[in-house]
Chain A
């Protein structure tokens, strides 16, 4: 047993130790945000080579979707970026709706924007908490969880689930908001802008925090685009690219919000971008709540939306011949139909551009679902961000690009 693991020194006679020092960080490691495994080659404390290895959380979401109906497959999208499951659901529903040519009622669109932005705040809060914990600031962690808890409680009241919400459905949303939820959200939007300065006073003016984040993991705008970074990680490098503005979906083009951009491209600017985004998301929720009051009582599901219980069918289903004596035993129901075709629909998820590419062959199941997950792309950018830095920096860098392995491995 001992021999299997024995390390054989190769250059025992030489004065200088030339053999590289390898550290296998993960897949069980407190700071790799899940089951990311990073293979590090070290020179002292400096990283010579960083080699991320993924696949420890692969559940085959894309393949499983092929054997489920469109409504069933939506439940799997909860498990992608489980921190912001509402945003994943909305993205998937929008893609399928585009394929079906379904028009979603306005009230449902507003509610979807609200849950998306709630998911964004919840995701950014969790990001801030864990990022600060990685750098060693323990207190921020629990402050953030306090407020995230509030959001999760609201989610629970909206749909009964806290983390994997599955709240939107194809053609709208599952349930309407009641008055208590709206009041609670108003209270949240009122209170939350006062909570953000609390985190900022804890870390923003802290010299150790600035030392650990400024000038670490720098990436230029051009390089970030080449690596395919999206979301806050891209905007931290000075590229003003936000799908909510550049390719608006839902009702984002009616809303007044700023796209947060910082220009340094280091860990600190990515942190600043996310802090700004939380404020903007709060503003968006506020505006949506006002808009929600205007369309009180309107439906939240499109009239021709597919029923959740009836399986999707083929476009031309041969009608069974009526029984000579009994006629039809069951009343025939209209089967929802997804026409042949393909669609790519991307939304601005909290972590970046989350795209769904769905190919339909006209049967009840998607022929292929491909998910463009931001975390997957961001992990591939880790070597560029961290090589030449210190061991402690890779932790800050992993935190700053905000990855969730559930989304990366799918």
Chain B
């Protein structure tokens, strides 16, 4: 028992450590990639090619004063909100298999856990918006709640197709079922589901073109407009955690997890990381390209396009499953 707990703890620490490093360098990659897409250089002052920039950013944010405005609605909630977001985002990591033998807890309802955690993380956003007692934050929080509810449904429905094909909610089982399927990955038979999932995942993590809760041009910074210093950084951390978790989930459920066209000896999670980086690049690419949706258009897209598409996908999957 003790050995089991120790092993889990060790695994979680390694995982969180690796993911934190990934988060830090995703911000670097984002700035660098978008920089080159926009004909500029991106960070290049701190360290060689700006490689130490994320570390400098973290140090700066940690040493900043942690300001709590005097008229926040409830200081406790105000302080707690970023942690809710972050913890919910990080908990999902525990059930996602990076490799067959590297998963902190292999639970049978892993998919549900991830979905539950991703909707929980939006509580942090809503509470932050409410507790800040600021007009902009409040609007941002309201937008976040509406957005998360509508896109949560689309995302869950998109994953139902995967569950039907794999016959399991265990993520390791899903990966193994994919390899036995004729196309090796579910992204091909579940192309509609994959599309809906990717769009919903972008909306779920509040990134462009669905970054309405923090719409810079209208709501200044939306729900975290009153935050500063480390709590501000925690929100950022939560956003990137959410992004990485969603990409991991897409890799596991649609792109065949850690399996690749050939084995790389010694690095079993090589293909997982390649696919993950590609999806993160895709996220960044979208951010550099697209303008932002308007609030009513976002809701229209969610309810009138994505949810019907996801339902259609379930029907098609069911029919194929019955016929084949």
**Using a CB–CB distance below 8 Å, which chain A residues touch chain B?**
1-2, 5-7, 21-24, 29-31, 45, 132-139, 141-143, 146, 202-203, 206, 208-209, 211-212, 390-395
Which are the 5 A-B pairs with shortest beta-carbon distances?
A136-B292, A31-B217, A142-B38, A137-B291, A136-B291
Whether A2 and B290, one on each chain, are in contact in the complex, defined by CB atoms closer than 8 angstroms, is no
A-binding segment of B82-90, B106-114, B208-216? B208-216
* Contact of B160 with A by CB under 8 A: no
**Identity of the chain A residue whose Cβ is nearest the Cβ of B289 in the assembled complex:** A139
Given contacts A5-B71, A136-B217, A143-B39, are A392 and B34 in contact (CB under 8 A)?
no
B136 to chain A, nearest CB (A): 7
Given contacts A29-B220, A30-B217, A30-B220, are A136 and B295 in contact (CB under 8 A)?
no
Q: Which of A21, A206, A392 has the most CB of B within 10 A?
A: A392
Whether A138 and B287, one on each chain, are in contact in the complex, defined by CB atoms closer than 8 angstroms, is yes
B74 to chain A, nearest CB (A): 12
A353, B204: Cα distance in complex, Å:
46
Whether B70 and A2, one on each chain, are in contact in the complex, defined by CB atoms closer than 8 angstroms, is yes
Contact residues of B between 269 and 293, Cβ < 8 Å to A:
287-293
A201 to chain B, nearest CB (A): 11
Per a CB cutoff under 8 Å, which of A23, A138, A139, A395 touches B139? A23
Interface size, chain B (Cβ < 8 Å): 32
Whether B218 and A31, one on each chain, are in contact in the complex, defined by CB atoms closer than 8 angstroms, is yes
A2, B70: Cα distance in complex, Å:
6
**Identity of the chain A residue whose Cβ is nearest the Cβ of B297 in the assembled complex:** A211
Q: Give the number of A-B contacts (CB < 8 Å).
A: 95
**Identity of the chain B residue whose Cβ is nearest the Cβ of A391 in the assembled complex:** B218
Whether A391 and B139, one on each chain, are in contact in the complex, defined by CB atoms closer than 8 angstroms, is yes
A131 to chain B, nearest CB (A): 10
A395, B215: Cα distance in complex, Å:
11
Residues of A within 8 A of B218 (CB): 31, 391-392, 394-395
Residues of A within 8 A of B287 (CB): 138
Q: Which of B70, B294, B296 has the most CB of A within 10 A?
A: B294
Residues of B within 8 A of A21 (CB): 135
Whether B217 and A142, one on each chain, are in contact in the complex, defined by CB atoms closer than 8 angstroms, is no
A89 to chain B, nearest CB (A): 31
Residues of B within 8 A of A134 (CB): 217
Q: Which of A21, A136, A206, A212 has the most CB of B within 10 A?
A: A136
**Identity of the chain A residue whose Cβ is nearest the Cβ of B287 in the assembled complex:** A138
A394, B295: Cα distance in complex, Å:
13
Whether A392 and B215, one on each chain, are in contact in the complex, defined by CB atoms closer than 8 angstroms, is yes
Whether A208 and B220, one on each chain, are in contact in the complex, defined by CB atoms closer than 8 angstroms, is no
B291 to chain A, nearest CB (A): 4
Residues of B within 8 A of A391 (CB): 139, 218-219, 295
Per a CB cutoff under 8 Å, which of B38, B135, B288 touches A23? B135
**Identity of the chain B residue whose Cβ is nearest the Cβ of A133 in the assembled complex:** B217
**Using a CB–CB distance below 8 Å, which chain B residues touch chain A?**
34, 37-40, 70-71, 133, 135-136, 139, 208-209, 211-212, 215-220, 287-297
Whether A143 and B139, one on each chain, are in contact in the complex, defined by CB atoms closer than 8 angstroms, is no
**Identity of the chain A residue whose Cβ is nearest the Cβ of B136 in the assembled complex:** A23
Whether A136 and B208, one on each chain, are in contact in the complex, defined by CB atoms closer than 8 angstroms, is yes
Instruction: Known pairs A133-B217, A139-B289; list 12 more (Cβ under 8 Å).
Output: A1-B70, A5-B71, A31-B217, A135-B217, A137-B290, A138-B288, A211-B293, A390-B295, A392-B218, A392-B292, A394-B218, A395-B217
16 A-B pairs with CB atoms under 8 Å apart are: A1-B70, A1-B71, A6-B71, A23-B135, A24-B135, A45-B296, A135-B291, A136-B216, A142-B39, A143-B39, A208-B209, A212-B294, A212-B297, A390-B294, A391-B295, A392-B218
Residues of A within 8 A of B40 (CB): 142
**Identity of the chain B residue whose Cβ is nearest the Cβ of A31 in the assembled complex:** B217
Residues of A within 8 A of B70 (CB): 1-2, 5
Per a CB cutoff under 8 Å, which of A2, A45, A146, A208 touches B293? A208
Q: Is the interface of A mostly helix, strand, loop or mixed?
A: helix
Whether B290 and A208, one on each chain, are in contact in the complex, defined by CB atoms closer than 8 angstroms, is yes
Q: Which of B133, B291, B297 has the most CB of A within 10 A?
A: B291
A23, B219: Cα distance in complex, Å:
10
B216 to chain A, nearest CB (A): 6
Whether A392 and B38, one on each chain, are in contact in the complex, defined by CB atoms closer than 8 angstroms, is no
Residues of A within 8 A of B293 (CB): 208, 211-212
Residues of A within 8 A of B217 (CB): 30-31, 133-136, 395
A259, B217: Cα distance in complex, Å:
32
A391, B212: Cα distance in complex, Å:
11
A139, B216: Cα distance in complex, Å:
15
Residues of A within 8 A of B289 (CB): 137, 139, 202
Residues of B within 8 A of A393 (CB): 294
Residues of B within 8 A of A29 (CB): 220
Per a CB cutoff under 8 Å, which of B71, B136, B220, B290 touches A136? B290
Residues of B within 8 A of A394 (CB): 218
A142, B40: Cα distance in complex, Å:
8
Residues of A within 8 A of B133 (CB): 7
Whether B135 and A138, one on each chain, are in contact in the complex, defined by CB atoms closer than 8 angstroms, is no
A136, B136: Cα distance in complex, Å:
17
A208, B292: Cα distance in complex, Å:
7
Whether B136 and A146, one on each chain, are in contact in the complex, defined by CB atoms closer than 8 angstroms, is no
B314 to chain A, nearest CB (A): 26
Whether A206 and B290, one on each chain, are in contact in the complex, defined by CB atoms closer than 8 angstroms, is yes
A153 to chain B, nearest CB (A): 16
**Identity of the chain A residue whose Cβ is nearest the Cβ of B35 in the assembled complex:** A142
Residues of A within 8 A of B212 (CB): 392
A139, B287: Cα distance in complex, Å:
9
**Identity of the chain A residue whose Cβ is nearest the Cβ of B216 in the assembled complex:** A30
Whether A211 and B294, one on each chain, are in contact in the complex, defined by CB atoms closer than 8 angstroms, is yes
B68 to chain A, nearest CB (A): 11
Residues of A within 8 A of B292 (CB): 135-136, 208, 212, 392
A337, B47: Cα distance in complex, Å:
63
A141, B216: Cα distance in complex, Å:
14
